[in-house]
Amino acid sequence: MNRLENGQLSRRERQIMDIVYRLGQASAKEVQENLPDPPSYSAVRALLATLENKGMLNHAKESRSYIYKPVITEQKARNSALKNLLSTFFEGKPKNLVAALLEDEDQQLSKDEINAIRKMVDDAE
């Protein structure tokens, strides 16, 4: 199990992974351009190297640049993060997560969103 599956990435590392997933692949310059409050180019390269050492990314050399790609699919990463979230905060029970979403006044789900959730539950049965 890699660090993403264990929830062991820093905030900045997660941001970088989100960018690489969104773009499909990315150079250090592309990552830097997409980061909020970006660090220096050298710092981005160091973070990409760290993610590669953690088994999250691999790279190929294209011209003078390294192009980074994710090692695991975004769906697998999303499922792993959700499992970690459930086990950490919701006793491993999806119903506790749904209850928290429905109880949170800040969420303010619209009727359309609630109906879409109902349909997903009905379809899952």
pLDDT on residue 106: 67
Domains of the chain: 11-70 (1.10.10.10), 90-124 (no CATH)
Query: pLDDT value at position 7?
Result: 54
The string of DSSP codes covering 92-125 is T-HHHHHHHHHH-TTT---HHHHHHHHHHHHHH-
pLDDT at 110 over 90: no
User: Cβ of 25: how many Cβ atoms within 10 Å?
Assistant: 15
What tokens were used for 64?
Answer: 């003078």
Residue range 44-55: average pLDDT? 95
Residue 94 confidence class, pLDDT cut points 50, 70, 90: confident
Mean pLDDT of 28-43: 96
Tell me the backbone φ, ψ of residue 62, rounded to 5 degrees. -125, 115
- pTM value? 0.68
- Helix, strand, coil tally for the chain in percent (to 5): 60, 10, 30
